[in-house]
Chain A
């Protein structure tokens, strides 16, 4: 709990740069993965307080070699993972990046991350960037 507050506090410190006008991030978390995992999943709820659709064109992180936007499609009993070129948050609406539907695909971590650690992710919008601190949590 303490760790989550710390991670949240860091996110606040990081936010005043706010070049992604109107974008608010909540419920950010990264699912702890087994040691040696080459990919981790990040989740968050994105809210757009503005009047126009907010497009996140890409994302990166100093903790990972790449970050991708993935969505899961279930069809004919098969789970299909697709890579999305960008994320769009509707005006005065939200986009839920949540388990079973979407995730930030965090590729090749610089080190093993454990529950309580903090992951930094930068979102690139058309107007600038937003840094998000995501606490690492156990699944379930």
Chain B
């Protein structure tokens, strides 16, 4: 604090000045402290990067058939889940949990986008992909694209997927990352939520993340 100058003046001025400084500094300090506290608040089931990491543009196709790029991630927090529609257990369970978690957040849930990235472009055309995610929540979005584009995005966001050979050709499964990927409203990689998931824990962590952005 630059208070040396203030202390050379008379008592009244000095007290007034200190009061003024305090009036400004105290709320500022509290804000800073709150922001610090919000940033430091650990997630129940996940990790936040010390510094969000910018991601390069990418070109996928959205469930509406239109291009889905980095610009589509701006302005809201996004939870990304990687999977495919021919996934019998983990994908529907996780999307149901995300829907339940979003509902628990109430109004704040509107500031959260959910994006299902299908790593099975061969079977997941935009149209059925759209019907699939809307079954869980009308606001959920989905995107997919060429395997190369998905692999490149995976390198940026930290997800992997491997097609597992099946005895019958068309019934292959895909091994995929199970984490939920958190992207901040500036479309930067902010962290991960790790399974096993429960709607209560998800809601708590997503609530923490949404508050964090407000604190900034």
Q: Which residue of chain B is the closest to A30 with respect to CB atoms? A: B88
- Complex CA distance for A106 and B89, rounded to whole angstroms: 11
Q: How far is the CA of A72 from the CA of B93 in the complex (A)?
A: 13
Q: Is the CB of A81 within 8 A of B173?
A: yes
Whether A16 is near chain B, meaning CB under 8 Å from some CB there, is no
- Which one, B92, B128, B178, contacts A79 given CB within 8 A? B178
How many residues does chain A have at the interface if contact means C-beta atoms less than 8 Å apart?
28
CB distance from A119 to the nearest CB of B (A): 13
The interface residues of chain B lying within 8 Å CB-to-CB of A103 are 88-89
Main secondary structure of the interface of A (DSSP, over half): strand
Report yes or no: A80 in contact with B92, Cβ–Cβ below 8 A. Answer: no
How long is the Cα–Cα vector from A12 to B93 in the complex, in angstroms? 29
Q: Compute how far the CA of A79 lies from the CA of B159 in the bound complex, rounded to whole angstroms.
A: 11
- Is the pair B162, A139 in contact by a Cβ cutoff of 8 Å? no
Q: Which residues of B contact A (CB under 8 A)?
A: 85-90, 92-93, 96-97, 99-100, 128, 131-132, 135-136, 160, 162, 164, 166-167, 171, 173, 175-179, 195-196, 199
Other CB < 8 Å A-B pairs besides A35-B135, A139-B93, A140-B96, 18 of them?
Answer: A31-B88, A31-B89, A33-B88, A34-B85, A34-B92, A34-B132, A34-B135, A36-B131, A36-B132, A39-B87, A70-B88, A74-B178, A78-B162, A78-B177, A80-B164, A100-B196, A138-B96, A140-B199
